[in-house]
Amino acid sequence: MSKSNTHAAQKLAVAGVLTAAAVVGSFLSVPVAGSKCAPVQHMVNVFSAVLLGPWWGIGIAFCASLIRNLLGIGSFLAFPGSMVGALCCGLMYHFTRKLSLTCAAEALGTGVLGGLAAYPVARFAMGLAPAGFTVYMIPFFISTLAGSILAYVLLRIFEKSQVLDTVMR
């Protein structure tokens, strides 16, 4: 197997583990305003940004949201929240390589942009009548803030113990 094929296989394996973590972690969700806030998904978004990049992060967020919906443990609101957040934090890490900014981009991307994108999904795809266009911003922000802080703490611990050096080779 060539070096590029091995690298691609490693990335796919990491993506599979992160997707599984997001799905299993969704059992630790809190229902808020019609959404199921899953902080582990946001932690996974930051991990995928750091380990794999923005496009992998979007794919992981989509797959985890799809699996959670198929298993009946998620809602359609998972798609805009997790995917927008994954894109924002993935791009931030790609361009800055700063973990603090990456976590902030996840929180703002999911909390603000994902919260706004959830309104049309709730209204037109789910048939709900949300109280206002910004109704999902607070619950999404609460969820993503918890997940972003968790990701920051864990990644700093992994960084100090050189676990990331091993994974990112």
Which distant-in-sequence residues (6+ apart) come within 8 Å of 35 by Cβ? Answer: 75, 77, 81, 118, 136, 139, 140, 143
Q: Does residue 8 sit within a domain?
A: no
Which range marks the domain in which residue 121 is found?
A: 37-167
C-alpha 63, offset from chain centre:
11
Q: Does residue 67 sit within a domain?
A: yes
pLDDT of residue 44: 97
Cβ pair 99, 155 in contact under 8 A:
yes
pLDDT of residue 35: 59
Total number of domains constituting the chain:
1
Sign, CA torsion 49/151/138/36: positive
Whole-prediction pTM = 0.90
Q: Does residue 1 sit within a domain?
A: no
pLDDT of residue 69: 93
Q: Does residue 87 sit within a domain?
A: yes
In tens digits, what is the pLDDT along the chain, a chain of 169 residues?
677 788 889 999 999 999 999 999 988 877 766 556 678 999 999 999 999 999 999 999 999 999 999 999 888 988 998 999 999 999 999 999 999 999 999 999 999 999 999 999 999 989 888 888 888 898 889 889 889 999 999 999 999 998 877 766 5
pLDDT of residue 4: 77
